[in-house]
Amino acid sequence: MKIRIVRHTQVGLPSGICYGFSDVPLAESWEKDISKVMEQIQDSKNCLVYSSPLTRCKILAEKLSGNVILDDRLKELNFGRWELQPWDKIEGPEAERWMKDYVNLRCPGGESYIDLCERVKSFLIDLQHNVFADCIIVTHAGVMHATNTILKHTPLHQSFETKIAFGEVMELSL
C-alpha cells in the first residue's frame, strides 16, 4: 500500500511560537500554498484521505478529497502549558529537563514524544489492517517524523535529523 503523507501549509502565527494541539489559523497565503500541494498530488479526488482534525490540516484534506476521515491520533504533539507561548520564553528547570529528554519526558500538562509515537503506531496498525488502497494522510511534522521513525525502525532520538517543510509530501509504504 502506498501512503502519501502531507504536512499542513504555513500557519498564521509569528515565527517562534510553540503550537501543537492548538487549533491555529493558516497563513494568509493558504490558498496559494494549498494549490502548490495539490500540484504534487493530482490524483487525490478519489482517494481516501485521513486528516488531523485541526483546522490547518482539515482545510487541506477537504481540498484534496471529498472523502476525509478525521482522526485525533494524527494531531501534533500536545505541548500542554507551553502551547501558544514563544519558545524563547519557555525556560526553567522543567523546560531544561524536557529539552534534554523530550523522547521520554512529558511537557507540563502535555505529552512526551513516546506518547505521540504510540498514537501514531496505533493509527498505522489500524490503517494496515483496515485499508486496502493507496491513501493520503494530512498531518503535522511531529506525526510525519514519528511515522518515518516507526516505519524505518530508527531510534526515536534521531527522528528530527531532517526537516519537514510546510506542504511537504512524503511517499511511504506499509
Q: pLDDT tens, 15-31?
A: 999 999 999 999 999 99
pLDDT at 67: 86
Which pLDDT value is given to residue 167? Answer: 97
Q: Which residue would you say has higher pLDDT here, 46 or 91?
A: 91
Q: For residue range 33-60, list pLDDT tens digits in order.
A: 999 999 999 877 778 899 999 999 999 9
Q: What pLDDT score does 19 carry? A: 97
Q: What is the pLDDT of residue 43?
A: 76
Three cell numbers at 168? 511537504
Q: Report the pLDDT averaged over residues 128-139.
A: 89
Average pLDDT value for residue range 53-70: 95
Q: Quick one: average pLDDT of 100-120?
A: 97
Q: What mean pLDDT comes out for the span 123-148?
A: 93
